[in-house]
Amino acid sequence: MTMLATAENSKRYLIVGLGLTGLSCARFCQQQGLNFALCDTREQFAGADAVRAEFPGTDLHLGSPESSFLCEFDEVLVSPGISAQTDNFIQAAGQGVVISGDIQLFREYAQKPVVAITGSNGKSTVTTLVNELINAAGFNAVAGGNLGTPALDLLNEEDVDFYVLELSSFQLETTADLAAEVAVILNISPDHMDRYSSMRDYERAKQRIFRSANKAVVNLDDDHTRPAMAAVKEFVTFGLNARADFGLINLDGEDWLAMESEPLLAASELKIRGSHNQANALAALALVSELGIDVKQCLNALKNFAGLAHRCQWVRELDGVNYFNDSKGTNTGSTEAAVKGLSAGLQGRIILLAGGEGKGQSFTGLGQTCAGVADVIAYGADSDIITAEMSPFCVVSQTDTLQQALLQARTQARPGDIILLSPACASFDQFKNYQHRGDVFCELVEDL
């Protein structure tokens, strides 16, 4: 990496958490010649020897850091998987230690405009799509953050015009001043309720994306996506209606994506399926437009965008039944969006496979969404909770494993139906991660 031009940095950093993000912080600090030490909260850290070899001479502390230790540093870079809302970090902050993360460090060194994207659902799809649309218009954009490449690694790229960042609420907690060129909260629904004390706290973390932003994009169908207290004076709207700046209009019985009521692209021409993906496409167009790019240059790229694996991904059709892999649906809001999107205009019925670790969510709203639209097969660690909370609204049956759920769904399905894996839960009871869960599902479907 080329040394980045910035004011001399004499801070002493502590990097807490040595997963993908923490190691990217360490490599950046080493490449920039910054003064830093390392900490992993695990007492027994299997990667300790490899870390010591990669960062020779750098102090490595194992175990949860006491506030007195944190106070030896000017700034503590906390990995997203570690909550900074614990006594040790709070006490250190009270003593003047800056508690931040990789995104704040990235912002201090990045010298090109940032497109910042968060939300409960659709972040990865919109981030990837915005990146492709910008590049289709002849610019050089790179994407990362919570998606794929850690943000600091993007600073290795040359001749960049725009950085496109997917940001989680955890990353935003430790980001004081993002100063994005344009920022968006795509939507807000319950997620990570095992980490946040209330929806208000979760929403407050998301709202940090607008701090010092030049422009904002707002979902007209979700008031919670508006910048708090008019933090951003200039914004455009998107939504599944004709009132939005980037909205959906109906011409001769067909829905069209439109910009200020000017038709751009028939919704039927999109390869990504469902009304939630129409909203994602409209959000992407709005973000690109706020960069001063003519969105009409991007329409072919939008039309040809096939979506991301594990996000309402079509797997196959068998005996008139279509199978979809939405393993990335790890919360009820995401699964509700998938059910609503795929049920629009569907002649048959959805058989929803839901289950895993529920993260303290309520499944009542999902049950109401499924009423009259979907039957549910619950599996996994929290299948009892799912069954109890959803069965007042829709038909719910229960199995132990995803494979059993799929086989039962196949016996229930009729031509014209959809079998949808959208678990509304974390995967760790039976799988390594949501990708592993989705891959297993696709393999099982292909073997039917």
How far apart CA 272 and CA 295 sit, in angstroms, is 18
| Vertex 139: Cα angle to 134 and 140 (nearest 5) | 95
Please identify which of the residues 123, 310, 328, 359 carries the catalytic annotation. 123
How far apart CA 409 and CA 374 sit, in angstroms, is 12
Cα–Cα distances in angstroms (integers) from residue 240 to residues 123, 248, 276, 290, 429, in the given order: 17, 5, 9, 19, 36
How far apart CA 263 and CA 151 sit, in angstroms, is 35
How far apart CA 448 and CA 345 sit, in angstroms, is 27
Extract the tokens encoding 142: 């790179």
**Cβ burial, residue 443 (10 Å; 0-12/13-18/19+):** exposed
How far apart CA 360 and CA 323 sit, in angstroms, is 28
Tell how far CA 226 is from the center of its chain. 18
Beta-carbon contacts of residue 297 (< 8 Å; ≥ 6 apart): 136, 137, 138
How many other CB atoms are found less than 10 A from the CB of residue 375? 17
Dihedrals φ, ψ of 131, to 5°? -60, -45
Clarify whether 146 is annotated catalytic: yes
Three-state SS letters, 376-440: EEEECCCHHHHHHHHCCCCCEEECCCHHHHHHHHHHHCCCCCEEEECCCCECCCCCCCHHHHHHH
Please identify which of the residues 121, 192, 206, 277 carries the catalytic annotation. 192
Please identify which of the residues 131, 135, 146, 219 carries the catalytic annotation. 146
Give me the numbers of helices (H) and strands (E) for the chain, helices first please. Answer: 15, 20
- The residues that are catalytic are 123, 146, 192
